[in-house]
Structure 1
Amino acid sequence: MSQKVNVGILGATGTVGQRFIALLENHPIFEIKAIGASSRSAGRIYSECTERTWKMTTEIPENIKNMTIVPCEPEHFKGCRLIFSGLDAAVAGEIETNFANAGYAVFSNAKNHRMNPLVPLLVPLCNTEHFDVIKYQQEKYGYKTGMIVTNANCASTGLVVVLKALQNAFGPITKVMVHTLQAISGAGYPGVPSLDIIDNVVPFIGGEEEKVESEALKMLGGINAETHEFEHLTNMKISAHCNRVPVVDGHVTNLSIEFEKKPAPSVEEVKKVLREYTCEAQSLKCPSAPKECIIVKDAPDRPQPRLDRNRYGGMAVTVGRVRECPLFDIKLSLLIHNTILGAAGSSILNAEVAVAKGIF
């Protein structure tokens, strides 16, 4: 592009907002021009607000340190074309709608609009063809140049990439059993109290299992030719168990998968398909797209969060322990970096795809 796209960040002081700021430092397409947060932070200098709460392993970018935080209202983001939202779900819905009404392209990490049948729920390594619904969203809601695009729940993200690759190659998948081991960074800051998580596993994350079981079916479904709304996949059933574990970053998910096709694909066929899987973001040469969407490990003790979460800048899915399942057909383990591919990184790559496709 001849010049960068000016962007704003909502919820800039939170952990997802911080990740947006860290990932966008020196970005070749996007440049941060405005940062917004709650009334507690608005009007203050960014470095003063985050002096004790900055949780990234890199320093606050120099161009952001002295930037003044503004309220999360469209009039304070003039000059921006695109908005990345790291807002908490408690406030995200109305604020994001206000920005879309004001003409901004909103790429949201919040759950509020994910199940709207005219809002794309995108994992950029999986279903960017769902951008096709944007024109119908704009027609229905009267957004002249605005739009809302959401990325998936962190626990759904790696799951759908693997299922999409296998579904494309082998046809319908009928049953999926999902067991997650989710990092504490997924709960934000201050998040899970230390007395609850150290030396412990918490076998409950509010609303998480329902998100995994429903979001994947929307992302793997399609757009109705008559209503132009998303239709969930109906021939697949997903059952999820979600657990919080004492790991800082990196969600591990164990899957058991049953195929409609019999005989089911072999272990080696599954590994080959996963290794060869590619996505539109790669073909468009988007700067955040990983060289490999899915990295397949043959070692019996991989993937591991500490060893594998940062592959390709945290934008790839790592798969291991692919083997036959005595109850289903195939079982495997996968890992994603939950605050990069599972959160801010997905929104950024979704926006890169939108630019490359000329959507705004």
Structure 2
Amino acid sequence: MQNKLEIGILGATGMVGQRFIQLLENHPWFQITWLAASDRSSGKVYEDAAKWRLDTPCPERIAKMIISPADPAGAPKIIFAALDTDIARDLEPLFASAGCAVVSNSSAFRMHPNVPLVIPEVNAEHLHLIEDQTWRKQSGGYIVTNPNCSAIGLVMALKPIQERFGIEQIFVTTMQAVSGAGYPGVPSMDILGNVVPFIKNEEQKMEEETLKLLGHLKGDSIVPLAARMSAHCNRVPVEDGHTESVSIKLSRPATREELLSAWADFHPLQGQNLPTAPAQPVEWVAAEDRPQPRLDKNRGRGMAATVGRLRPCGLLDWKFTVLSHNTIRGAAGAAIVNAELLLSLGKLEPLAVAAAAQA
């Protein structure tokens, strides 16, 4: 693109906000021109308001930007939102009502009946739901969400299997990284040398979102996948990367080779050239002790789901392990690839052009 589209970040000082900044630096389609955070940060220079926690330096241009109030007045028409749920519930509709495309990482509206919950490789057709949003009809704005960080890797691994063989039951136990709790997150004395077998609302989110993501669009609503699912969610002393042990019961029998083929052949975005989308969405690793967060979390630049340990299950049909990077594919990167898909479908540029004309 000759002219990059201006974008803003709501919640820019938090961990997901920082990951947005890192991933959007030098993005070929988008340019950060606006940052907003809490009232205590508004008016400050970004480097003074945010404690940068990532392993690459904060871009100098961003470090010197002034943080704006979290108000749609003066904001660009494309907003990446990295807000706590309670705050998102109030703020995101304000921006959508003002004609903004709100590409959200929050859980506030994921299960709303006409808000699409999207993984581009899985259910791009669900984006049709934005046309039924009141905001869209009144101002052109809308809200699109990406899934919970624990659901996204699981669903990417399940989608090609569901397409070929059908899935009737899903049993999953997660081992979730501490970065999923934000910063400062879990106190060190609670997590070092420990496993915490509870993450508030996580199991409910994972079960509901997985079935919605794997469901189908019928008219103006989503019919969830008709499968039974149980999730056990645990916090473990790993910095980044959610690991999940999965068992599934299929609708039709499948061999090991057929399951491996389903993952290998899974290229639903081929030819769309979305900059952040991985070339191979689901990567198979054959070593008997993989995937591991330390070794595999950055596959596909952190945007791929890595699967391994495929073997028969004594209770259901098959079991395997899946790993995904929770703050890249499970958060900021997921929202960015959603925005790339929206732009490729012509859902972003008219809003940006209208904003430029008003300016």
Structure 1-normalised TM-score?
0.95
Aligned to 2:153: 158
Aligned to 1:297: 285
For 1:168-317, what aligned pairs fall within 5 Å after superposition?
A: 168-170=163-165, 172-225=166-219, 228-233=220-225, 235-261=226-252, 264-280=253-269, 282-317=270-305
Contact 1:70 1:76 in 2 (8 A): no
Aligned to 1:32: 32
Aligned to 1:69: 67
Q: Could you report, residue by residue, the CA deviation over 1:121-167 in whole angstroms, capped at 9, with x for unpaired residues?
A: 012221111111111224x7644210100000000001111111101
Contact 2:306 2:322 in 1 (8 A): yes
Contact 1:117 1:231 in 2 (8 A): no
Q: Does 1:149 align with 2:144?
A: yes
Contact 2:131 2:137 in 1 (8 A): no
Aligned to 1:329: 317
Contact 1:81 1:104 in 2 (8 A): yes
Contact 1:183 1:246 in 2 (8 A): yes
Deviation at 1:35, TM superposition (A): 0.2
Aligned to 1:45: 45
Q: Distance in 2 between matches of 1:85 and 1:224?
A: 28
Contact 1:165 1:273 in 2 (8 A): yes
Contact 1:5 1:81 in 2 (8 A): no
Q: Distance in 1 between matches of 2:187 and 2:313?
A: 36
1:125 to 104, 121, 128: 121
Q: Distance in 2 between matches of 1:208 and 1:108?
A: 18
Give the secondary structure class of the aligned counterpart of 1:355: helix
Give the counterpart letter for 1:153 in structure 2.
N
Give the secondary structure class of the aligned counterpart of 2:73: helix
Q: Distance in 1 between matches of 2:74 and 2:184?
A: 28
Aligned to 1:341: 329
Give the secondary structure class of the aligned counterpart of 2:307: strand
Give the counterpart letter for 1:163 in structure 2.
L
Q: Could you report, residue by residue, the CA deviation over 1:258-290 in whole angstroms, capped at 9, with x for unpaired residues?
A: 0111xx21112111111111123x431101111
1:94 to 58, 79, 90: 90
Aligned to 2:353: none
Deviation at 1:90, TM superposition (A): 2.1
Deviation at 1:222, TM superposition (A): 1.9
Give the counterpart letter for 1:336 in structure 2.
S
Contact 2:267 2:279 in 1 (8 A): no
Aligned-residue CA RMSD (Å): 1.1
Q: Distance in 1 between matches of 2:121 and 2:105?
A: 16
Give the secondary structure class of the aligned counterpart of 2:278: coil
176-185 or 126-135, which deviates more = 126-135
Q: Does 1:21 align with 2:13?
A: no
Moved over 6 A (4+): none
Aligned to 2:80: 84
* Alignment gaps of 5+ in structure 2: 349-359
Q: Could you report, residue by residue, the CA deviation over 1:211-252 in whole angstroms, capped at 9, with x for unpaired residues?
A: 111001111112232xx122222x201100000000000000
Give the secondary structure class of the aligned counterpart of 1:295: strand
Aligned to 2:354: none
Percent of matched pairs sharing the same residue: 48
Q: Could you report, residue by residue, the CA deviation over 1:142-194 in whole angstroms, capped at 9, with x for unpaired residues?
A: 44210100000000001111111101111x21101010000000000110010
Give the counterpart letter for 2:8 in structure 1.
G
Give the counterpart letter for 1:97 in structure 2.
P
Q: Distance in 2 between matches of 1:143 and 1:152?
A: 26
Give the secondary structure class of the aligned counterpart of 1:179: strand
Give the secondary structure class of the aligned counterpart of 1:74: coil
Contact 2:125 2:217 in 1 (8 A): no
Q: Distance in 2 between matches of 1:39 and 1:346?
A: 27
Contact 2:150 2:242 in 1 (8 A): yes
Q: Distance in 1 between matches of 2:271 and 2:144?
A: 21
Structure 2-normalised TM-score?
0.95
Give the counterpart letter for 1:329 in structure 2.
D
